[in-house]
């Protein structure tokens, strides 16, 4: 299969004057406005600068710049500024004579210099490590901040490099091909550059898996005549009906590209001759009336039997890259399935050339104010830029970021609706949490439940195409890391991660402040090295981990002060030689020396500094019978006596169990979970939450309810003052029609 830019490629470099003539002629045919003097000056400049440079294929280096410029002219036609920048994009390099960005600015102006600078910054990013591939995304997205032409020229540059990749070493071929498949092809897809995306995929596949590439290509070639005969026979009756209705059209059949066919074979586990949808029929109408597309769909459906579930209306609901077309699959006379795409000429231009087509039609500036690819694509680029310009992305987040970017660049999509009928486009397998963040980050952060088509669903429910989603929120709800297990959109992941990181930073700062106050009070002088050594012995990862656990009540500040004092006593071993903590008796003695809202039974008195934490498995509240487990260097874990985990561990940790009781006066609220079961019906969740909130202004932390058929099961996490509050809450909820079971939840 001959690539689009093969025309005159072989003769390039033999005669620069002829090359210039070819370029100018292409510009005259494709560009709305043309400064021929600018193009000629840029061409002669790049030829002169690279007169001593040769490519790997032996041709003068300027032929690469010329080829990139021709791609910009013929395949993603923009403007003369873009063509000049394409010719100059490799001139600011370490070669003789040296050329600076200032030289480009003086000779060709600020705008061209800015674009050349942007393309140069993205250069030489091909590496095998995840961190560098993520950095590739960063550089590509940052190029959008000033001028989108930067990234479009980079697409052209990468496309020509892939077309001439055979001249490089095997290692470099695979490295560049992998980066192209993982980064540039998905970006081209997101920008609507359909033709370029397909070619980048096929060329990458060719160098990454040559055996399979050749097998598919050979298989297609062997059936070419049969396929052409079938297409001709298939389109004849359609063409006749279109002419009878005085419709001006272009109709053709095309095989799907090689990489796409290979993926179908792999996913469906079928051989090439077992696939019947290897080609698509495209009907392009010479009109701007989108209603004519639906009329033509009706005509096609009268001739061939349509497959209802395979009809897709991307005209009324365009894809996020602004792709518009009607897709239908019909059954041909011999039983084969054939995909038919119907679109207008302008829709086809956008489908093939994406952002460039918008510019071509609107003839507007591609600077900061350019709205490219529609509102959805602009929003996508905006939040991507926000992520990439953040200084808080650490190395540990790179892998997660990379996977999220791939998903959001190259996603299958579903369309879901708000209760008001507003459309939201999300990746396939999105959940109510993803939907909530799509509406607004505040709604996502405080999401406690959802209803889909009027029925309660769990937060990890996978949304389906066409569903209506209602989000229920609570000001007391906050996300937890468990949500990251099932959410799919980067917007949701970034929002949750940002919230959790901010929460961790706050708790770490509070822990450090608490620690500094305590060591000052005890007149201790501990340098950082000494503290690090002791904390490692006490099984803390580092100082940050220690401060966070102090701030989060997971570590006992007084207990750790006592343990460190043991280390600092005269005659104590050097921290480097100490491999264990003080005896259990020392720990329990320290614990019994103080108390806050919890008493240790058998202690002489109570002060106000004991550190304790309520076990999340059973969530005790005042009024419950309680016991505690002493953890080395940490707070006492307070359990209900009936807690299954406590009972299971009792024999193994007998020496660390302490008998506890509640202080006579308790302040504040305690978190606990309620398990509900019953018969599902419209409005049930609303009535349950009203019953809870209506009693003493009880705060709801979260709701997770799942309906199956006519029944539902769920868990509602609430804040209560004591067991009396909880039991009276049970009485209120039992009165809600449909509730059959209510109990404490442990887990």
Active-site residue set: 93-94
Buried b (16+ CB within 10 A) or exposed e, 86-116: bbbbbbbeeeeeebeeebbbeebeebbbbbb
Burial class (CB in 10 A: 0-12, 13-18, 19+), 240: exposed
Cβ atoms of 66 and 83 closer than 8 Å = no
472: which 2 tokens? 């229920």
Question: What residues have CB less than 8 Å from 542, skipping those under 6 apart?
Answer: 532, 535
Question: Which residues lie below 8 Å from residue 586, measured CB to CB, with a gap of 6+?
Answer: 562, 563, 566
**In a 3-state reduction of DSSP, which class is residue 301?**
helix
Could you list the beta-strand ranges (E) of 505-656.
598-600, 612-614, 626-630, 636-640
Contacts of 536 (CB under 8 A, 6+ apart): none
Dihedral angle over CA of 386, 388, 389, 390, nearest 10: 90
Q: Please classify residue 343 by burial: count the beta carbons closer than 10 Å to its beta carbon, then call 0-12 exposed, 13-18 middle and 19+ buried.
A: buried
Helix, strand and coil content of the chain, in percent to the nearest 5, comes to 50, 15, 35
Contact 459, 449 (CB under 8 A): yes
Q: Are 4 and 70 in contact (CB under 8 A)?
A: no
Tokens of residue 524, six digits: 């201790």
Task: Report how far residue 422's alpha carbon sits from residue 441's, in angstroms, rounded to the nearest whole number.
Answer: 17
**What's the distance, Cα to Cα, between the start and end of the chain in Å?**
60
Q: From residue 255, how far is each of 212, 352, 534, 656, 692 by CA, in Å?
A: 17, 16, 68, 72, 60
Contact between residue 384 and residue 145 where contact means Cβ atoms under 8 Å apart:
no
> Cα 171–90–200 angle (5° rounding)?
50
How long is the chain?
747
Phi-psi category of residue 235: left, alpha or beta, with phi > 0 → left and psi -120 to 50 → alpha: alpha
What are the Cα distances from residue 527, in Å, to 70, 150, 532, 535, 559? 65, 51, 9, 12, 19
Strand partners for 249: 285
137: its two tokens:
């995304």
C-alpha 309/C-alpha 107 separation (Å) is 58
Answer yes or no: are the C-beta atoms of 331 and 304 closer than 8 Å.
yes
Q: Dihedral, CA atoms, 267, 272, 277, 282, nearest 10 degrees?
A: 120
Alpha helices by DSSP H, 89-184:
101-108, 110-122, 130-142, 149-163, 170-179
CB 411 within 8 A of CB 426: no
Coil, strand or helix at 368: coil
Give the bridge partners for 717, in sequence order.
673, 702
Q: Distance between CA atoms of 344 and 354, rounded to whole angstroms?
A: 14
Pairwise CA distance, residues 165 & 159, whole Å? 10
| DSSP character at residue 622 | B
Residue with tokens 């169990």: 657
Helix (H, G, I), strand (E, B) or coil at 304: coil
Q: What is the token pair recorded at 582? A: 């003080």
Radius of gyration of the chain (CA): 33
């Amino acid at each position: 299969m001959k690539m689009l830019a093969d025309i005159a490629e072989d003769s390039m470099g033999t005669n620069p004057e002829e090359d210039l003539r070819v370029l100018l002629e292409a510009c005259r045919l494709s560009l709305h406005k043309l400064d021929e003097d600018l193009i000629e000056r840029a061409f002669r400049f790049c030829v002169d600068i690279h007169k001593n440079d040769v490519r790997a294929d032996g041709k003068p280096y300027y032929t690469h710049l010329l080829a990139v410029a021709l791609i910009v002219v013929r395949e993603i036609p923009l403007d003369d500024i873009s063509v000049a920048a394409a010719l100059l994009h490799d001139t600011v390099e370490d070669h003789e004579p040296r050329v600076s960005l200032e030289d480009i600015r003086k000779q060709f102006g600020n705008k061209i210099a800015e674009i050349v600078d942007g393309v140069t910054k993205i250069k030489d990013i091909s590496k095998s490590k995840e961190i560098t591939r993520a950095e590739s995304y960063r550089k590509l997205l940052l190029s959008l901040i000033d001028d989108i032409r930067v990234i479009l020229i980079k697409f052209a540059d990468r496309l020509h490099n892939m077309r001439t990749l055979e001249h490089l070493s095997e290692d470099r071929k695979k490295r560049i091909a992998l980066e192209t498949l993982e980064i540039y092809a998905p970006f081209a897809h997101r920008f609507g550059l359909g033709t370029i995306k397909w070619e980048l995929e096929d060329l990458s596949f060719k160098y990454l898996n040559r055996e399979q590439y050749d097998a598919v290509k050979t298989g297609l070639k062997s059936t070419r005549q049969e396929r052409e005969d079938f297409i001709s026979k298939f389109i004849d009756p359609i063409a006749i009906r279109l002419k009878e209705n005085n419709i001006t059209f272009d109709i053709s059949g095309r095989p799907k590209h090689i990489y796409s066919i290979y993926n179908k074979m792999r996913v469906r586990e079928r051989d090439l001759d077992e696939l019947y949808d290897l080609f698509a029929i495209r009907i392009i109408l010479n009109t701007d009336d989108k209603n004519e597309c639906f009329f033509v769909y009706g005509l096609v459906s009268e001739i061939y039997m349509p497959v209802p579930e395979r009809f897709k209306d991307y005209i009324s609901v365009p894809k996020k890259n602004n792709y518009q077309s009607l897709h239908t699959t019909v059954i041909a006379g011999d039983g084969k399935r054939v995909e038919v795409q119907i679109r207008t000429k302008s829709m086809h231009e956008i489908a093939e050339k994406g952002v460039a087509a918008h510019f071509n039609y609107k003839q507007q500036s591609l600077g900061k104010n350019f709205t490219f690819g529609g509102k959805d694509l602009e929003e996508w680029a905006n939040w991507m830029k926000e992520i990439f310009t953040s200084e808080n992305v650490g190395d540990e987040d790179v892998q997660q970021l990379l996977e999220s970017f791939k998903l959001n660049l190259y996603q299958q999509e579903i369309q879901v609706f708000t209760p008001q009928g507003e459309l939201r486009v999300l990746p396939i397998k999105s959940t109510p949490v993803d939907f909530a963040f799509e509406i607004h980050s505040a709604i996502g952060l405080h999401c406690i439940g959802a209803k889909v088509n009027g029925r309660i669903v769990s937060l990890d429910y996978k949304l389906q195409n066409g569903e209506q989603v209602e989000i229920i929120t609570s000001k007391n709800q906050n996300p937890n890391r468990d949500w990251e297990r099932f959410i799919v959109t980067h917007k949701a992941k970034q929002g949750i991660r940002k919230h959790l990181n901010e929460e961790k930073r706050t708790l770490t700062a509070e822990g450090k402040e608490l620690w500094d106050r305590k060591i000052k009070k005890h007149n201790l002088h501990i340098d950082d090295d000494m503290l690090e050594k002791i904390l490692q012995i006490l099984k803390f990862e580092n100082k940050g981990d220690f401060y966070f656990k102090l701030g989060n009540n997971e570590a006992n500040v007084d207990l750790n002060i006592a343990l460190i004092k043991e280390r600092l006593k005269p005659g104590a071993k050097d921290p480097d030689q100490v491999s264990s903590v003080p005896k259990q008796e020392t720990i329990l003695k320290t614990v019994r020396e103080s108390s806050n809202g919890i008493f240790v039974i058998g202690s002489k008195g109570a002060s106000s500094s004991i550190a304790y934490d309520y076990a999340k498995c059973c969530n005790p509240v005042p009024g419950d019978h309680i016991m505690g487990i002493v953890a080395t260097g940490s707070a006492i874990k307070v359990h209900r006596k009936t807690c299954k985990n406590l009972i299971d561990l009792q024999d193994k940790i007998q020496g660390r169990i302490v008998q506890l009781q509640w202080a006579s006066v308790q302040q504040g609220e305690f978190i606990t979970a309620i398990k509900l079961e019953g018969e599902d019906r419209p409005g049930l969740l609303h009535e349950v939450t009203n019953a809870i909130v209506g009693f003493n202004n009880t705060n709801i932390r979260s709701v997770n309810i799942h309906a199956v058929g006519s029944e539902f099961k769920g868990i509602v996490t609430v804040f209560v003052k004591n067991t009396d509050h909880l039991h009276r809450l049970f009485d209120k909820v039992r009165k809600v029609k449909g509730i059959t079971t209510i109990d404490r939840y442990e887990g």
